[in-house]
Structure 1
Amino acid sequence: MALLDTGASVNVLPYEVGLQLGAVWEEQTVSIQLSGNLAQMEARGLVLSATVANFSSVLLAFAWTQSREAPLILGHMNFFAEFDVCFYRADLAFELHPRGK
């Protein structure tokens, strides 16, 4: 499960999830500064091909953090650049569509 966070500037990938996807921490060389509750955690850039729902695969950039407690966060860079999201607050629901569709 992931958090869809309109206030998050970046996508965040928990350490264990990155390992499960085959990423190797030492091979990621781009350092990313996180903020908020994760500000003290080291993070490195990781680009993954992702399939969301039944849509075509897209490349998503993540700040892969060594924190084992960090949730999977989908934020502005670049989840909201790839998908249009319509929130229905009263219904506690949202719709998701590929960008421009």
Structure 2
Amino acid sequence: MSNPEPYSFVSSDPALGEASFRPYLPLTLVYQQRSLTASGLLDTGASVNVLPYSVGVELGYEWERQTTALRLTGNLAQYEARVVLVQAIVGRFEPVQLVFAWTQATNVPLILGQVNFFMEFNVCFYRSQLQFEIGLKSVASE
């Protein structure tokens, strides 16, 4: 991974000690003229990126205008979801376009999953050190 950027795991519940640490990534989300600083949970087991309803509203999305529906599975299967595109700025890297399943669920974190966060970034986890590194995907030279 060329020029990786290091990050620390974040404690979600100090009462749980080391078991509570999660890989949350600070990032800026941009849609039209609005931007929002957020933290996304890196989830290698998530098929898609998930945008909580309140975050989508804060960015300026209108539920009724999003016409591409998506069926989520697992804990989010009971909620409707719509596909939205968001520009994301991670650290010092160039902005990338991320595809999110914008869910009506309110009790879900912003999730960064396989489609398409892990398609855009390389991530290396060092759980025993409570650290992870992020780097842009390598582009093969022609």
Letter in 1 for 2:132: F
Structure 2 residue runs without a partner (length 5+): 1-38
CA–CA separation in structure 2 for the residues paired with 1:21 and 1:53: 20
- Give distance in 1, aligned partners of 2:40 and 2:88: 13
> Highest relative contact order (Cα 8 Å, sep 6+), 1 or 2?
1
- The equivalent position to 1:17 in structure 2, one of 45, 55, 65, is 55
SS of equivalent residue, structure 1 residue 16: helix
Percentage of matched positions with identical amino acids: 57
Q: Corresponding residue for 1:87?
A: 125
1:52 positional shift? 1.0
Name structure 1 gaps, 5 residues minimum: none
- Please list the CA deviations of residues 32-80 of structure 1 after superposition, one character each: whole Å capped at 9, or x if unmatched: 1111111101000001111111210000000000111111000000000
Q: What is the rounded CA distance, in whole Å, between the counterparts of 1:99 and 1:77 in structure 2?
A: 14
Hey, what's the Cα distance between the residues in 2 that align with 1:95 and 1:70?
A: 24
Structure 1 residue runs of 4+, over 2 Å off? none
RMSD: 1.0
1:2 is displaced (CA, Å) by 1.7
Q: Equivalent of 1:57, from 95, 120, 131?
A: 95
Highest Rg: 1 or 2? Answer: 2
Q: Which amino acid aligns with 1:87?
A: F
User: In the alignment, residue 72 of structure 1 is paired with which amino acid?
Assistant: L
State the match for 1:36 in structure 2. 74
Comparing both structures, which one devotes a greater share of its residues to strand?
2
Alignment coverage as a number of residue pairs: 101
